Amino acid sequence: MKLKLRPLDTQVMVITGATSGIGLVTARIAAAKRARLVLASRNEGALRFLTDEINAAGGEAVHAVADVGNEDDVRGIAATARQRFGGFDTWVNNAGVSIYGNLTDVSLADHRRLFETNYWGVVHGSLVAVEHLRLRGGALINIGSALSDRAIPVQGAYCASKHAVKGFTDALRMELEHQEIPISVTLIKPAAIDTPYRDHAKNYLPVEPQNPPPVYAPEVVAEAILHCAENPERDLFVGGGGKGISVAGHYAPEITDKVMEWTMFNLQESDKPARNPQHSALYQPSGPYAERGGYDGHVAESSWYTKASLHPLIAGGLLLAGAGLAYVAFREGLLRERRRNGRYDRNQHLAQRTT
C-alpha cells in the first residue's frame, strides 16, 4: 500500500507536550511552515502564551489543556481539532517525563505515574488518532528514544516505558498495514537532547542529574518530526550517538553492559546539589517554558547521520561524489609520483653515462 501524505502547509497537526523542549520547537517551526496547530499540555498558562504567540505572528493555532494519561482528556484534544479545523492530518505523541534514580529506590507510585504519561499517553493518543485517520489517512508520529532499543542505568523506568512505546508502535504499524489502513506510523528515537527534560524529571539522586553526551539541539528532532509528517518513515534515529548505542547493545550486549556500568552512573550526575525531589513534572506541570535546557557541554546543532537517514539518495550521491573525488586525487597523486620517479630514474641514468 502506497501512502501519500499532504504537504505541511495544508495540514492540521496535533502536538502533545507542546509547551517545552521538542514540542515547543516543533510547534514554532511547523507554524512558520504554515501548518495549522492543535497544541496540548497540562500547563494552561504556557499553552495560552504559545497559542497567542503563533496567532499574533500570522499562524493558526488552538490549544487544549490535557493530561495524556487521561483518555477523556486526549479525546478532548481530538474534539478541539474537529471543532476548530474539521479534524487533523498528523498526530505527534511527544509528551513525556523521566525519573533519575536506581530502580530499587523509585516508589511504585512513581513507576506507575511515569507509565501513565510515557506509555499510556502514547496509547491514548495513537488510538484516538487512528480512529480519526483510518478513513482520511495521515501520519501518527510517536516519540520514543534511543533508549527504546538500549537501556541505561539510573533511568530504568524511563527506558522501560520507551521500550513499551516501541513495542506498541511496531505492533500497531503491522496491524494497520495488514488492514490496509492509510496511516503512516513512525517511531522517532532521539539521542540525548538539550531540553528542560532534566528540570521536569523526578530526581532520587543526591545531586542534580545531567545528560550524557553526545547532546543534540531540539531543532534536529523537530526537523525529523516535520519530515515524517510529509514522508512516510518506519522509524528514525535522531543523532548518530543514539544509533551507536543501539548498535552496540544489539551486537555486543554484555560488553555494552560493562561500558554502561563504568560510565553512565558518573555521566548522569552533575556536581550541583539536588533540589527538592517534589520539584518535578511527574504529577503536575512544572519547570520552565523553554526550548533548551542549558546543557553545559557541547550541543550539536545538526546531525549528519540524521540528515543522511532523511535523504538517502542525496547522501548516496555525496558518498559517490566523495569516492569519485578520492579516486581522482589518488590517480593524480599516483601519476605525479610516477612522473617524479621517472625524472629521478632519467637523471640517475644520465649521471651514470657521464661518469
Q: Which residues are catalytic?
A: 158
Distance of alpha carbon 247 from alpha carbon 253, whole angstroms:
9
Give residue 52's identity as a one-letter amino acid code.
D
Provide CB contacts within 8 A for 275, sequence distance 6+. 203, 208
Buried b (16+ CB within 10 A) or exposed e, 25-61: bbbbbbbebebbbbbbbbbeebbeebbeebeeeebbb
Q: What are phi and psi of 222, to 5 degrees?
A: -60, -45
Distance of alpha carbon 175 from alpha carbon 286, whole angstroms:
37
The SS3 call for residue 337 is helix
The SS3 call for residue 336 is helix
